[in-house]
């Protein structure tokens, strides 16, 4: 009787292990990335309800993805409604590049976001740009997922 | 703050001899030269005086330890264990018994004497060729006692110069960024130290992010990037007075600064509307010149030692590559054509090579190529490393290396490393905290 109990428990443990590992792997594979652009919400904060504060980029790229443009349109709508608010666009790069190039890349990414906001009617007077290069990662991991979270432009309220 | 201006009285003791030993620095260091560094002898009264002033029990031994460590770290010499020395330091300095030194396989011998003369530190030393049984060099210096470490570095420079035929690089300093704290919130301070890691001093408090400090040719001034008031700008700092100022009046981020070889200009990048271009500013008349004009990222500029050319980093071909142009911005030529992307070109003080960082298949390399891009040679491979800076004689590169964190994002560190141009003798450079962005000074004494 005892033996079967132990076996039962053992099975339970084994089963739990499988379930857990499946969970862990499915998280990776179902992807918080499309290509190498982060699509998850782990690090995302909100400027207002339904208005995400950041957009993500592919390696070495400053091109806005479809999802990024959608996020920026939401930000533009919110900024039009709140016309007194000014913002800083903080551009960032991952750790897989030289420091100086990444400073330039962060600036280019933040400006890509700025240009898009401007096409939706936000005056450049309300937007300043600040590049941190690779100096302020949100995820300290050294893996593709962490890097994808760090390649970002974050819209921060300045007043 | 006259600390850095060593008062150095050089008395050349005439030597009539020619050395038979020499060290070949061009082939790496597979057979470092066995050398005996005898402790510098000191009379009891001088010893007591220096013990009072410097709180060191025997300053003669301390100075010889600096010489010994420098020689060892250079990779070209193998300093022998002092326990095996048969001759007393004072007698060896008068006349070595060459057969005794030969017995322990020393090929060269350094002896010397320290004395307290009118509140000053007087050091004489001799370099001997053991096999030939001859004196190769004899020198004496007098300086303030506080300069005792520098005396050790100057002795090493003289020995290195005599045995290799090249200028030394030991009486030099490193400016770098000292780092502490978690990776997501690193605190960074400017720091300066002797080339061997001694006399570390922080120059900023860590209240704002600072990056990429670089010396001017006299090593009295430093240009660097600071995020003071959250505005990333290039600054100029006078190390002796501590005064600093913003370089230029640019409406946006300036970064990647370096001095021109004559020290009169700062060359840097200015980023505006998503485009980074290279500019110079004359420090005397404040005239600003735009050097590049291309809708790509142009950054990491570095002058050739004659000031006629500039190497820089651009992604105008789609990815980061190294380019060379005339110093007025004309004749832009891409020079890096190997696999991977290339960054941080730095022109050698000898003028013949450009050191760089390369990323290929997920690995970072420090390498060198000729100034036309030929003869690419990779010196070291790692998970992450970048930002080489040349020793003033162009024989050694210092750079920084970061570790890969584990699955929980832990285990991050950044350290300074050095490697010979030959690709041998890779060593961690000691720093009290983590460090990055090193810049090597010129020789402080000439």
Q: At residue A27, does pLDDT exceed 50?
A: no
Mean pLDDT across A93-122:
98
Interface test with B, best of A107, A109, A118 (most B CBs within 10 A): A107
CB–CB contact B183 A130 (8 Å): no
The Cα–Cα gap between B11 and B142 comes to 9
For residue B162, is pLDDT > 80? yes
DSSP B227-280: -GGG--EEEEEETTT--EEE-S--SSEEEEEEE-TTSSEEEEEEEETTEEEEEE
- Residue A21 pLDDT exceeds 60: no
Alpha carbon distance A109, A91 (integer Å): 6
* pLDDT, tens digit, 9 for 90 and up, residues B169-194: 999 999 999 999 999 999 999 999 99
| CATH superfamily ID and name for B173-440 | TolB, C-terminal domain (2.120.10.30)
Quote the tokens at residue B312: 């820089």
**What is residue A23's predicted lDDT score, i.e. its pLDDT?**
41
Q: What percent of chain A has pLDDT over 70?
A: 81
B46 close to B114: Cβ distance less than 8 angstroms:
yes
The reply to whether CATH 3.40.50.10070 applies to domain B2-21+32-164 is yes
Nearest-Cα residue of chain A relative to residue B383: A96
| A103:B359 CB<8 A | no
Token digits for B414? 């950044």
Strand ranges inside B75-231, DSSP E: 77-79, 108-117, 120-129, 134-143, 173-180, 187-194, 201-202, 210-215, 221-226
Alpha-carbon distance values, A5 to A2, A13, A17, A46, A109 (Å)? 5, 12, 18, 50, 60
- Output the CA torsion B163→B164→B169→B170 (10° steps): -30
For residue B126, the SS3 value is: strand
Q: Is pLDDT at B200 greater than 60 in this prediction?
A: yes
Q: What is the rounded average pLDDT of the residues B87-107?
A: 94
- The per-residue DSSP string of B337-350 comes to -SSSEEEEEEE-TT
Measured from the Cβ of residue B4, the count of other Cβ atoms closer than 10 Å reads 15
Mean of pLDDT values over B395-420: 95
Chain A, nearest residue to B256 by Cα: A100
| Cα R_g (chain A), whole angstroms | 21
Report chain B's mean pLDDT, rounded to a whole number.
Answer: 93
φ, ψ for residue B191 (rounded to 5)?
A: -140, 155
Q: What is the pLDDT confidence band of residue B5, given thresholds at 50, 70 and 90?
A: very low
Tell me if A131 and B271 make a contact (CB, 8 A cut-off): yes
Whole-number Å distance between alpha carbons of B264 and B257: 13
Q: Half-sphere exposure (CA, 13 Å, Cβ side) for A74? A: 17
A155 touches chain B (CB under 8 A): no
Contact assignment for B232 to A138 by CB distance below 8 Å: no
Q: Are strands B396-402 and B414-420 parallel, antiparallel or unpaired?
A: antiparallel
B320, A135: Cβ pair inside 8 Å? no
pLDDT band at residue B408 using 50, 70 and 90 as cut-offs: confident
pLDDT, residue B27, reads 63
Q: B272: which strand partners?
A: B275
Q: Percentages helix, strand, coil for chain A, rounded to the nearest 5? A: 45, 20, 35
pLDDT at B215 over 90: yes
Condensed to tens digits (0 to 9), the pLDDT of residues B429-440 reads 999 999 999 999
Are B253 and A107 in contact by the 8 Å Cβ rule? The answer is yes
User: Are B319 and A95 within 8 A, CB to CB?
Assistant: no
Structure confidence at residue B123 (pLDDT): 96
Give residue A24's pLDDT band: very low, low, confident or very high (50, 70, 90): very low
Query: Residue A74: which pLDDT band, with cuts at 50, 70 and 90?
Result: very high
At B139 the three-state DSSP class reads strand
* Residue B29 confidence (pLDDT): 58
Which of residues 336 through 365 in chain B touch A, CB cutoff 8 A?
343-344, 357, 359
What confidence tens digit (pLDDT) does each residue in B295-330 have?
999 999 999 999 999 999 999 999 999 999 999 999
Check for a shared fold between B2-21+32-164 and B173-440.
no
Residues B42/B62, Cβ–Cβ less than 8 Å: no
Cβ within 8 Å of residue A114, ≥6 positions away: A89, A124, A127, A129
Query: HSE (CB half, 13 Å, CA atoms) of B100?
Result: 14
Q: Does A67 touch chain B (CB under 8 A)?
A: no
Whether the model pTM is above 0.80: yes
Q: Which 5-34 residues of chain B touch chain A by CB within 8 A?
A: none
- The DSSP bridge partners found for residue B255 are B269
Tokens 């460590």, residue located: B69
Residue B272 has pLDDT above 90, yes or no: yes
What was the pLDDT predicted at A31? 75
Quick one: pLDDT at residue B223?
A: 98
Which structure tokens are listed for B394?
Answer: 């162009």
Among residues B352, B327, B196, B175, the alpha carbon closest in space to that of B265 is found at: B327
Report ipTM for this prediction: 0.93
The per-residue pLDDT for range B123-153, each reduced to its tens digit, is 999 999 999 999 999 999 999 999 999 999 9
B37 in Cβ contact with B130 (< 8 Å): no
Q: What is the Cα–Cα distance from B246 to B229, expressed in whole angstroms?
A: 12
Chain A CA closest to residue B225 = A100
Q: How confident is the model at residue B6 (pLDDT cuts 50, 70, 90)?
A: very low
Average pLDDT over residues A144-148: 96
* Host H or E run for residue B133: none
**A74, A80, B150, B211 from A84: Cα distances, Å:** 17, 9, 60, 34
* Mean pLDDT of all residues in B223-250: 95
User: What is residue B66's three-state secondary structure?
Assistant: helix
Cβ-in-10-Å burial (0-12, 13-18, 19+) of B304 comes to buried
Domain boundaries, chain B: 2-21+32-164, 173-440
Binary contact (A111, B273; C-beta < 8 A): yes
- Is B416 a residue whose pLDDT tops 80? yes
CA distance to partner chain A, nearest, from residue B271 (Å): 7
Instruction: For residue B407, name the pLDDT band (cuts at 50, 70, 90).
Output: confident
**Is B316 an interface residue toward A (CB < 8 Å)?**
no
Kindly tell me if the per-residue pLDDT of B1 is higher than 60.
Answer: no
- Closest residue by Cα to residue B237 from B191, B171, B306, B198: B191
pLDDT tens string B7-30: 444 454 444 444 456 677 666 657
How is residue A101 written in tokens?
């190039």
Q: Average the pLDDT over A60-89 and give the result.
A: 97
B321 touches chain A (CB under 8 A): no
**A138 to chain B: closest CA residue:** B184
* pLDDT at position A151 over 50: yes
CA atoms within 13 A on the CB side of B3: 10
């Amino acid at each position: 009787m005892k033996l079967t109990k132990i076996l039962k428990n053992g099975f339970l443990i084994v089963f739990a292990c499988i379930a857990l590992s499946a969970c862990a792997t499915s998280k990776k594979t179902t992807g918080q990335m499309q290509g190498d652009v982060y699509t998850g919400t782990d690090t995302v904060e909100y400027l207002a309800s339904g208005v995400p504060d950041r957009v993500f980029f592919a390696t070495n790229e400053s091109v806005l993805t479809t999802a990024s443009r959608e996020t920026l349109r939401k930000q533009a709508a919110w900024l039009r409604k709140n016309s007194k608010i000014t913002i800083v666009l903080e551009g960032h790069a991952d750790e897989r590049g030289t420091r100086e190039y990444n400073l330039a890349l962060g600036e280019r990414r933040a400006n890509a976001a700025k240009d898009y906001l401007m096409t939706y009617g936000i005056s450049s007077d309300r937007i300043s740009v600040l590049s941190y290069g690779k100096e302020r990662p949100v995820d300290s991991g050294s893996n593709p997922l962490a890097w994808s979270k760090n390649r970002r432009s974050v819209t921060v309220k300045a007043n | 703050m006259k600390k850095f201006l060593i008062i150095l009285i050089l008395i050349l003791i005439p030597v009539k001899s020619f050395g038979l030993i020499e060290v070949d620095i061009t082939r790496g260091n597979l057979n470092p030269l066995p050398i005996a560094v005898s402790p510098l002898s000191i009379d009891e009264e001088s010893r007591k005086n220096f013990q009072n002033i410097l709180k060191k029990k025997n300053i003669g031994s301390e100075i010889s330890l600096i010489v010994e460590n420098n020689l060892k770290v250079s990779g070209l010499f193998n300093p022998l264990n002092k326990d095996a020395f048969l001759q007393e330091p004072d007698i060896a300095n008068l006349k070595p018994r060459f057969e005794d030194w030969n017995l322990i396989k020393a090929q060269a011998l350094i002896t010397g004497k320290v004395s307290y003369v009118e509140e000053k530190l007087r050091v004489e030393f001799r370099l001997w060729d053991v096999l030939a049984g001859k004196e190769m060099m004899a020198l004496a210096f007098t300086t303030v006692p506080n300069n005792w470490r520098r005396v050790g570095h100057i002795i090493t420079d003289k020995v290195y110069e005599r045995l290799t035929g090249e200028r030394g690089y030991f009486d030099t300093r490193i400016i770098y960024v000292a780092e502490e704290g978690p990776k997501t919130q690193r605190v960074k301070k400017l720091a300066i130290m002797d080339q061997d890691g001694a006399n570390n001093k922080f120059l900023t408090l860590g209240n704002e992010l600072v990056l990429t400090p670089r010396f001017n040719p006299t090593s009295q001034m430093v240009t660097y990037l600071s995020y003071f008031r959250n505005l990333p700008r290039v600054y100029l700092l006078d190390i002796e007075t501590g005064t600093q100022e913003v370089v230029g009046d640019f409406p946006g981020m300036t970064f990647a600064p370096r001095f021109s070889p004559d020290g009169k200009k700062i060359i840097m990048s200015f980023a505006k509307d998503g485009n980074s271009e290279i500019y110079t500013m004359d420090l005397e008349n404040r005239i600003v010149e735009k050097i590049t004009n291309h809708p790509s990222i142009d950054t990491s500029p570095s002058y050739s030692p004659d000031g006629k050319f500039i190497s820089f980093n651009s992604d105008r071909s789609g990815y980061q590559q190294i380019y060379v142009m005339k110093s007025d911005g004309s004749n832009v030529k891409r020079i890096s054509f190997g696999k991977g992307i290339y960054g941080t070109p730095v022109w050698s003080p000898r003028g013949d090579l450009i050191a760089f960082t390369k990323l290929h298949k997920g690995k970072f390399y420090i390498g060198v190529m000729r100034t036309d891009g030929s003869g690419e040679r990779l010196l070291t491979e790692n998970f992450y490393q970048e930002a080489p800076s040349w020793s003033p004689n162009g024989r050694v590169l210092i750079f920084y290396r970061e570790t890969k964190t584990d699955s929980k994002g832990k285990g991050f560190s950044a350290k300074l490393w050095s490697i010979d141009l030959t690709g041998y003798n890779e060593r961690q450079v000691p720093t009290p905290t983590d460090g990055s962005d090193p810049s090597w000074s010129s020789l402080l004494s000439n």
